[in-house]
């Protein structure tokens, strides 16, 4: 019960019901008050109008005319609906309409009645318990006139209104509580869904669970979507981490075994020169191993989205001039024509991490020069397209069979035909990871025997 009272659904339902009921009560009182006022004012106005008429009649024809007026008035309205009495100063009744319906409505005393101003009052009718009459008293010559009308209809109307209000209030409470509860349950269902999934993840580390979406596009649906996205990223992250650990263990076995074998060879000899040679080999192997380790770490970080990037505006000019100075002598030595074209006015700009983009491009250019035989050409160019800037490297090398294209981006994958060329099969997977971490893509077009074109696309 305590838990139930603490629940969001209960609090929402409670607030909703209270507000709903409160609104109903306020509206009722406002209507009731306005109606009561209007009815009172209306009766008062009728009484005052009559008093003016009575004064006028008296002035015209004295007490006789007043008598006729009164009997005509009572005949018109009915003796139960109007009572007119005329008193002298000592309180003796001079004229009175039929008082049978009015009980023994006592002779009123008006000690402080003003000559100028009529007095309007509410009085109880003795023979009709609970009912009220409204009276007006005023001076007419030397007499005091009192006219009374019952406010029975007004009272009945108000009583009916009060009854209707009671029923309405009951209905409101009956409707407000269940509908408030229903709405609150609906709103909090999504939150409970998120809580359930979060608990199951915390309890079992099962990241495959998701919060079902209702498609209402409200804040809670957005929260559920964001939560699912977060779990999805976490799942991806853990999968990458898992893969990395699996692969790393596998990838490290070979170089470590090699290093150990070398060390063993070194231990088996006393020849100083042989030992020196083995140590140099071990150092080389360690360098390669370190390179591999860094590359694997970078690929994993890039793929899980945790690689720190320093994105800046990078003119294509700078990037390609650097590539030119790095590779022109390699191309020349190998007898390959290296053709680099780019706009030299600084208009073409990449928005990227300089170090990572240069590394990705270098790996692609390195491959183009490595796999293109002597006498071939390598062309590099950069251009802008709507939404992205692109840099392409085309070679006249052996090309790549279409079905193998997706595989060349896998770690350590090498085409059989490339085995005679030195390489570690990691350059393209690193290039792809670096480019994709910046929101870009690497595309390849190739035709065996004719050459390959690799392009790096970076969004602007
Ligand atoms: P590496 O070049 O060190 O072997 P990469 O990851 O850079 O590793 O490339 C993977 C494989 O893709 C290469 O071994 C090669 O078989 C193929 N490849 C890459 N670039 C080219 C190219 N320009 N022309 C032909 N084959 C290529």
Q: What is the pLDDT of residues 393-405, one digit of tens each?
A: 999 999 999 999 9
Q: Whose CA is nearest to atom 14 of ligand 1?
A: 414
Top mutation candidate among 251, 363, 367 for ligand 1, by most atoms within 8 Å of CB: 367
Q: What is the pLDDT of residue 2?
A: 61
Q: Which atom of ligand 1 is nearest to the CA of 398?
A: 25
Top mutation candidate among 428, 433, 435, 449 for ligand 1, by most atoms within 8 Å of CB: 428
Residue 297 Cα, ligand 1 centroid: separation in angstroms? Answer: 20
Tens digit of pLDDT for each residue in 217-227? 888 888 889 98
Rounded to whole angstroms, the Cα distance separating 180 from 178 reads: 5
Residue 457 Cα, ligand 1 centroid: separation in angstroms? Answer: 19
| 4 — pLDDT class (breaks 50, 70, 90) | low
Top mutation candidate among 414, 416, 430, 435 for ligand 1, by most atoms within 8 Å of CB: 414
Residue 378 Cα, ligand 1 centroid: separation in angstroms? Answer: 15
Q: What is the pLDDT of residue 129?
A: 66
Ligand 1 residue neighbourhood (C-beta within 6 Å): 363, 367-368, 371, 395, 397-398, 400, 408, 413-415, 418, 423-429, 452
pTM for this predicted structure = 0.59
More confident residue, 125 or 200: 200
pLDDT at residue 360 greater than cutoff 70: yes
């Amino acid at each position: 019960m305590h838990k139930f009272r603490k629940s969001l659904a209960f609090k929402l339902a409670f607030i909703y019901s209270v507000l709903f009921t409160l609104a109903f009560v306020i509206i009722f009182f406002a209507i009731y008050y306005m109606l009561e006022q209007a009815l009172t004012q209306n009766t008062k106005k009728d009484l005052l109008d009559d008093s003016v008429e009575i004064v006028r009649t008296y002035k015209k024809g004295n007490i006789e005319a007043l008598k006729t007026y009164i009997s005509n008035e009572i005949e018109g309205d009915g003796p139960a609906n109007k009572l007119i009495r005329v008193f002298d100063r000592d309180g003796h009744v001079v004229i009175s309409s039929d008082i049978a319906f009015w009980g023994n409505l006592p002779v009123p005393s008006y000690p402080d009645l003003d000559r100028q101003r009529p007095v309007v009052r509410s009085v109880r009718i003795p023979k009709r318990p609970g009912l009220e009459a409204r009276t007006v008293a005023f001076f007419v010559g030397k007499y005091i006139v009192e006219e009374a009308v019952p406010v029975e209809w007004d009272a009945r109307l108000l009583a009916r209104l009060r009854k209707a209000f009671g029923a309405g209030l009951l209905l409101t409470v009956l409707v407000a509580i269940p509908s408030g509860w229903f709405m609150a349950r609906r709103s909090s269902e999504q939150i409970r869904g998120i809580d359930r999934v979060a608990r199951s993840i915390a309890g079992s580390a099962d990241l495959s669970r998701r919060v079902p979406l209702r498609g209402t596009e409200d804040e809670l649906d957005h929260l559920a979507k964001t939560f699912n996205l977060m779990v999805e990223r976490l799942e991806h992250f853990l999968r990458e981490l898992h893969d990395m650990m699996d692969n790393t263990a596998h990838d490290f076995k070979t170089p470590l075994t090699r290093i150990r074998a070398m060390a063993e060879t070194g231990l088996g000899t006393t020849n100083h020169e042989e030992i020196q040679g083995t140590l140099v080999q071990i150092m080389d192997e360690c360098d390669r191993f370190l390179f591999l380790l860094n590359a694997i770490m970078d690929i994993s970080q890039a793929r899980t989205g945790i690689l720190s990037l320093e994105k800046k505006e990078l003119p294509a000019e700078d990037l390609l001039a650097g590539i030119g100075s790095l590779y022109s002598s390699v191309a020349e030595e190998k007898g390959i024509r290296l053709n680099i074209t780019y706009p030299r006015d600084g208009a073409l700009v990449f928005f990227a991490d300089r170090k990572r983009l240069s590394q990705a491009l270098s790996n692609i250019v390195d491959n183009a020069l490595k796999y293109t035989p002597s006498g071939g050409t390598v062309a590099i160019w950069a251009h802008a397209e709507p939404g992205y800037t692109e840099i392409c490297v085309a070679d006249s090398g052996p090309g790549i069979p279409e079905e193998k294209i997706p595989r060349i981006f896998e770690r350590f994958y090498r085409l059989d035909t490339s085995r005679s060329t030195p390489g570690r099969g990691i350059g393209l997977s690193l290039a792809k990871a670096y480019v994709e971490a910046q929101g870009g893509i690497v595309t390849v077009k190739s035709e065996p025997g004719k050459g390959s074109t690799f392009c790096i696309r970076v969004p602007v």
